[in-house]
Amino acid sequence: MQITSDRIRSLAEPLQIGPVRVPNRVFMAPLSGISDRPFREIASRGGAGLVVSEMVAGERLVERNREASMRAERAGEGPHVVQLAGREAWWMGEGARAATDAGADIIDINMGCPAKKVTNGYSGSALMRDLDHATRLIGAT
């Protein structure tokens, strides 16, 4: 794929995700252990239209775990996006409600993390082995 000035200009166009308007198409992906609130604020100030929190276990948000709540804090000017990780539909749903009650505009479900400590808990990319279960998590969230 050739990168052209038209492709680069298209990154500056706004994007609508449901009711949420994202000011541009430059996204900062969540990175566990890296994308803390200060990092996300820097990315937002640097021009990212959407920054995503580190993954947070849904049940930890429900329990009002201090560390989980800090990971999910708003950062920057754009939409507030919280990434949830988990395997239990009920906890994911309740975690999504806790996040939106705290101001999250978008809930992202982690289905890509390959780390063994995540996949051994049947979360992250392990969810791709059971699409029916992944669909249930999406529905609950």
Catalytically active residues are 113
CB atoms closer than 10 angstroms to residue 76: 19
3-state secondary structure of 17: strand
CB-based burial label for 3 (10 Å; 0-12, 13-18, 19+): exposed
Residue 80 is classified by DSSP as: E
